[in-house]
Amino acid sequence: MNRVLPDGLIVVAKADCPTCRLVEPLLAEIAQSDQLTVYVQDSAEYAADLSGSLYDKTLEHSYRLGIEFVPTLIRVENGKEVERTYGWHKEDWRQLSGLATLGEELPVMRPGCGSKTLEPGISEELELAFGDFKLQSREIDIAGADDPMETCYERGWSDGLPVVPPTPVRVLRMLKGTERKPEEVVGLMPPDLVPVSVEKVAINAVLAGCKPEYMPVLLAALEASLTDEFGLHGLICTTMFGSPMIMVNGPAAKAIGMNSGVNALGQGNRANATIGRALQLIIRNVGGGRPGEIDRSTMGNPGKVGFCFAEAEDSDWLPLAQERGVAPGRSAVTLFPGEGVQGIVDQKSRDPESLARSFALSLRTVDHAKLAMAGDAVLVVSPEHARVFIDAGWSKQRLREELEKLLLAPGEQLVAGAGGIAEGIPARFKDQQVPKFRPGGLLIVRAGGTAGLFSAIIAGWAASGPVGSSPVTREVNI
């Protein structure tokens, strides 16, 4: 912001800074030879005898001057700053003041202290009060006696768990996690097709308990959810179990501390828990996808609170993002319409052929053992199970190809009525070999703890595919 400053010299100081106290006796000498304005951040007593001394109680002057350290000495000419120095450097102060013998008795140099404007929580408050940035969202006034967290419950902003009240300072701090403009519209959030801005994303990220550095991953997941391929509107409205599940690859996962190891699909990791939760809160609070209203899931699943994890990338297996076209070294999220977690317990198979047959037998039960080409699935292979394949030289692609063969089944066993079970596929498939999944419908990732011969299946929404919901991968822009 352009502003006219008082010509002469400006000193910004605070009383509890030893270096500011060191230079305090010099200010009277400076004031005798030049116009001097002193802004004091923490006391009306510091340099109180000087007519140009002002207590900068609100820190507005310090903020507008961009003060990072005290003391800071600034020279102003024609209303504009021309030079500054901070801390006590004898030669610098002499040059700016024009006083050749200033501070003769003082040491050559003393470092200053941090400005009060940089104290935790203060910088955002100052930016909101005196900066150009203004939140576009309507601020809700809460009576002093009301509990902000209870207010969030009462207004329907919660998923049933406690949320972090999205104060303006917290929202501004969250927005610092991305370079994207707060007013930028990411897309139209179903089911109500409401514009979802980066600011709205930040508000819900605060509610979910995210850190600012999670924003790029969350934004990538949101972009993936808004694609036609993902079909979020149908996934929200279905009576089935599914909801968005986020899988993260690349350096971003490590940078924000995501969990791909022990209990990766469970609780306990802030990034995993809150990124998935934030996406669900955006669906609820921006798009209107609330259970019992447009969300008609018969049973739901715990992933509707939030389902997010990272893939382990410490083996020869190609990471999911690279399988899906993302360049090595880049970060990406893959969004999948996931249901609950189905365990695979095989503690005896020590060769890849046996273990692949175990996996195939378990995968047959996705949706129903007699249904085929309906829902997609994610196979989460634990490190101990993965080692069986890797030690035998099997890549992910080799495992997938083997599973596709094993998952072919005679149509006569799957058609409706076969085996005395009314459920099943149409009779036209009776004389065919039928694949369990559509082409590309089985994703394989590696995650989990290093102890335990257990893997997992996460079934997809039964409307998976071109007419329903397909997995979508988006790069993370950091």
pLDDT, tens digit, 9 for 90 and up, residues 245-262: 999 999 999 999 999 999
Q: Can you give 53-89 as a three-state secondary structure string?
A: EEECCCCHHHHHCCCCEECEEEEEECCEEEEEEECEE
Q: In the prediction, which pLDDT does 462 show? A: 80
Report how many domains make up the chain: 2
Give me the CATH number covering residue 113.
3.40.30.10
Predicted confidence at residue 469, as pLDDT, reads 84
Residues 357 and 465 placed together within one structural domain of the fold? yes
Report pLDDT for 465: 60
Domain boundary among 130, 161, 185: 130
Residues 310 and 353 grouped into a single domain: yes
Residues 111 and 53 in one domain: yes
Whether 263 and 410 map to the same domain: the answer is yes
Name the domain boundary from 71, 102, 130. Answer: 130
Assess if residue 431 is contained within a domain: yes
| Token output for 159 | 């998923």
CA dist., res. 224 & res. 369, Å (int): 30
pTM equals 0.89
pLDDT category at 466 given cuts 50, 70, 90 is low
Domain termination site, one of 130, 158, 176: 130
Residue 444 lies in a domain: yes
Q: Is residue 142 one of the residues assigned to a domain? A: no
Strand 433-434 with 409-410, pairing: antiparallel
Tell whether 394 and 341 lie within a shared domain.
yes
145 assigned to some structural domain: no
Instruction: Please write the tens of the pLDDT for every residue from 10-69.
Output: 999 999 999 999 999 999 999 999 999 999 999 999 999 999 999 999 999 999 999 999
* Kind of pairing between the strands at 454-460 and 377-381: antiparallel
Mean pLDDT of the chain: 95
Element (H, E) at 444: strand 442-446
pLDDT tier at 429 (50, 70, 90 boundaries)?
A: very high
Question: What are 222's two structure tokens?
Answer: 């949101």
In a domain, 326, yes or no: yes
Distance separating alpha carbons of residues 289 and 284, to the nearest angstrom: 4
Does any domain span residue 115? yes
Domain co-membership, 257 together with 403: yes
For residues 329 and 412, membership in a common domain is answered with yes
Closest CA to 367 of 347, 397, 337, 399: 337
Q: Do 340 and 470 fall within a single domain?
A: yes
Is residue 267 located within the same domain as residue 408?
Answer: yes
Task: State the residue range of the domain holding 430.
Answer: 150-475
> Do both 159 and 115 map to the same domain?
no
Determine, yes or no, domain membership for 1. no
